[in-house]
Amino acid sequence: MKTLHATRRQLTAGAVLGMVLAVTVTGCRGWETDAPPVHLNWNMDTQEKGKAYRKSDFFADGRYMRTPPSGTVARGFLKEDDARSLGRVDGLAVTAFPAGMADPEVALARGQNRFGIYCSPCHGLAGDGDGIVNQKLSVKAPSFHDARLKEMPVGKMYEAILNGVNAGNMGSYAGQIVEEDRWNVLAYVRALQKQRDPSVTLGGKPEVKVADDAPPEKKGEGLYVSKGCNACHSIDGAKGVGPTWLALYGRAEKTSKGAITVDDAYLTESIREPGAQIVEGYPPVMPPYPLTDDELNNLIAFIKTLK
Ligand code: HEC
Ligand code: HEC
């Protein structure tokens, strides 16, 4: 027993001595020093290179992060073909799929796969607008089997994926879906539509370019479609997400500010600042539009014709 105790004591003493030694040799953290830390094996831990947010003595502006010289394009990001990368050429949405697209069978399979992941949560697996997420949205994702979407030029659908719709009512999916796949998804959307209505065309109905010298109400009618007001406002009396424009001018209404009669000033305010007065019975979801004065006046002229 005695020898055992002695051995334990020696062991403890040894351990304490070891710790004291270790601390003496390596030094104590907490002491201030300007010397660099002891780093026995440098290996590749620290390299002579510039890191994004570090200060640089090499460049005159003191930054390692460089701005690309103007006119340079990152490899693989050269967009020469507006039809393919933007879906719109000379102000008009394209009505053709890009030339040289993948074999339709491959395009459809890939498109169905991307559609299932990125579109079906709202637009539904068969495109009926019955996705589970749609139940929670105040502005609903439309059914792809609506007349408006069956006729929509494919380039305008492409824009929906690229930029989103109406100031974020639908977000952009450009970050998730690469250019080629956006077209693949649309090939699948068209296939869904054609399945129920064989008269649907791949390209959709071309947008009409309103002549520069057309009367204001004609231009306004063009804007009604091109600005997407038709997504929420009908002109035939049907209730949509927003009130119908049929017989809107002169109508007596209740808004969040009380009873009003629709006149030019009210229309201007409703379009310029959608949040200023909310029509009773409707959600405050109208997006603000950056419209020129001319565009605004043309829209109002068009609304006045809807009696
Ligand atoms: C999170 C829900 C959601 C998802 C996911 C979604 N959408 Fe939408 N989408 C909407 C809503 C909401 C609208 C209606 C917006 C409006 O009218 O202001 C819409 C409208 C559209 C329109 C009509 C655009 C127009 O100009 O009226 C197209 C085309 C469309 N979506 C395509 C797609 C495609 C293709 C995908 C998949 C890549 C997709 N959407 C994914 C919610 C969604
Ligand atoms: C996403 C759906 C949506 C879109 C797209 C939309 N609106 Fe609206 N708009 C509404 C809703 C909802 C209301 C009613 C609530 C309110 O007063 O904001 C409304 C109200 C209005 C009113 C007042 C109507 C009334 O009965 O008093 C006008 C005028 C109007 N919108 C014009 C436009 C124009 C012009 C565009 C296209 C440039 C447009 N809206 C696009 C949803 C929309």
Token pair listed for 231: 């997504």
- Give the closest residue to 90 by CA, choosing from 17, 152, 155: 155
Protein residue with its CA nearest to atom 17 in ligand 1: 231
Protein residue with its CA nearest to atom 20 in ligand 2: 242
- How far is Cα 267 from Cα 263, in angstroms, rounded to an integer? 6
For domain 216-305, give the fold.
Cytochrome Bc1 Complex; Chain D, domain 2 (1.10.760)
Ligand 2, residues 233, 263, 292, 295: which to mutate, most atoms within 8 A of Cβ?
Answer: 233
Using the structure block, give the residue that is written with the tokens 């030339």.
99
Token pair listed for 96: 């053709």
- How far is Cα 206 from Cα 94, in angstroms, rounded to an integer? 8
pLDDT tens, residue order, the chain (307 aa): 555 566 777 878 888 888 777 766 665 566 788 888 788 887 888 788 888 999 999 999 999 999 989 989 988 888 889 999 999 999 899 999 998 888 888 999 999 999 999 999 999 999 999 999 999 998 899 999 999 999 999 999 999 999 999 888 899 999 999 999 999 999 999 999 999 999 999 999 998 888 999 999 999 999 998 888 998 999 999 998 999 999 999 999 999 999 999 999 999 999 999 999 999 999 998 988 889 999 999 999 999 999 9
* Domain 82-196 falls under CATH 3.20.20.70: no
Q: Domain residues of the chain, as ranges?
A: 82-196, 216-305
Instruction: Tell me the CB-side half-sphere exposure of residue 284, using CA atoms within 13 A.
Output: 8
Using the structure block, give the residue that is written with the tokens 């102000």.
91
Cα 114 to ligand 2 centre (Å) = 32
Give the DSSP per-residue string, 183-248: HHHHHHHHHHHHHH-TT--SS-PPPPPPPTTS-HHHHHHHHHHHTTGGGT--SSS---SS---TT-
- How far is Cα 36 from Cα 50, in angstroms, rounded to an integer? 19
